[in-house]
Amino acid sequence: MKILRTPDSCFEGLADYPFAPHYTTIKTADGSDLRIHHLDEGDTDAPIILCMHGQPVWSYLYRKMIPLLVADGFRVIAPDLPGYGKSDKPATREDYSYNLQVDWMNAWLRANDLGGITFFGQDWGGLIGLRMIADNEERFERVVISNTGLPYNPDTPDDVVAEVEDFRANKPTPTLPEMMQALSGGARAQAIAFAYWQKFCWETEDLPAGFLLSMMTEQRSKLAMAIDFAFYRLGLRKLSPVRTALAKAYDAPFPDNSYKMGPRAMPSQVPTMKTSPSLAAQAKAWEFFSQYQKPFLCAFGDDDPVSKGGDLPFLDRVPGTAGQPHTTIKGGGHFVQEDNPKELCQVIAAFIRANS
């Protein structure tokens, strides 16, 4: 397996990211060494909160939450998924699958011998982390999820499958505005809407992670956004005179396009249809959670069209959700860690103490 490693120099001078790196090397199925980075902040004897990120971000997403949770008496561990952040980056599309990411993170978890964990996951952090819990039940005591899911769609209509497959194989790459319109409800089925994101990510070699996060999470003037968008349209977004520190930080792991295979490939691995290669593993995970008695909390944002309603299957099927104070995070878009970290930290801390 060809594996890339982002030079440390790419991460110099990041705003609000003073955390020391920690590294764990695991073996892949072909015997390659894969180095996974994580943050580990707080007293080593304090209760552990494992915070997992999604796509196209990295542990920088938790920079606002970590100081709050540590000050509240917790130890926070935040890994970078392989392909993201300071972790190694397998270089080809075939290196990335849902099942492989679960295998790699299971190996990381066991190598670090973590236990007594409260899990928090959002986006792909939830998809991968929930499978880790099913595979390592004894290491986890509580679960909090936000804007994520455990997709399992064994009954996708054949016409939807055909439409998605035709769109992904034959239609032009959607523009950024077209993709955003589809995700906001402009397509007739969820699988079709999400196919716009899948196709946009896979066919955009220079996936603009920093620009996307700035657009989604920062409050900026219309003029600044217009200037940034103009530079993006010209293929010169990194030269924008109004490019923000946040945008630079989310671009930092990717010094050139060869490092971006993880963020480009992973959306296509979301099992939105019955043809997904991870369908059997998802079914097994749902069998596990349908009997899961440990405390389980949903804290979804109030303004995320991608995951809207994603809490309902858990509330309906997971016994551990009963009687818990499920919360809607106000002002929380898809990346609630950026949009309202204070309320999210308060919700997590209160949940842990109420279920200690």
Among candidate residues 84, 77, 82, the one with its CA nearest the CA of residue 10 = 84
pLDDT at 173 over 90: yes
User: What is the spatial distance between Cα 24 and Cα 64, in angstroms, rounded to a whole number?
Assistant: 24
Among candidate residues 140, 163, 161, the one with its CA nearest the CA of residue 289 = 140
pLDDT-based confidence at 196, cuts 50/70/90? very high
Give yes or no for a contact between 164 and 192, defined as CB atoms under 8 angstroms apart.
Answer: yes
Active site residues: 123, 304, 334
Residue ranges of the chain that CATH labels 3.40.50.1820: 3-153+277-354
pLDDT at 346 over 60: yes
User: What is the spatial distance between Cα 36 and Cα 21, in angstroms, rounded to a whole number?
Assistant: 10
The amino acid that residue 244 corresponds to is T
Give yes or no for a contact between 94 and 116, defined as CB atoms under 8 angstroms apart.
Answer: no
pLDDT at 203 over 90: yes
pLDDT-based confidence at 190, cuts 50/70/90? confident
Give yes or no for a contact between 4 and 259, defined as CB atoms under 8 angstroms apart.
Answer: yes
Per-residue pLDDT reduced to its tens digit, 312-336? 999 999 999 999 999 999 988 999 9
Please tell me the class of the 3-153+277-354 domain.
alpha beta
pLDDT at 187 over 60: no
User: For residue 118, how many other CB atoms are within 10 A of its CB?
Assistant: 22
Mean pLDDT, rounded, of the chain: 95
pLDDT at 188 over 80: no
Q: What is the pLDDT of residue 183?
A: 86
Phi, psi of 343 (to 5 degrees): -65, -40
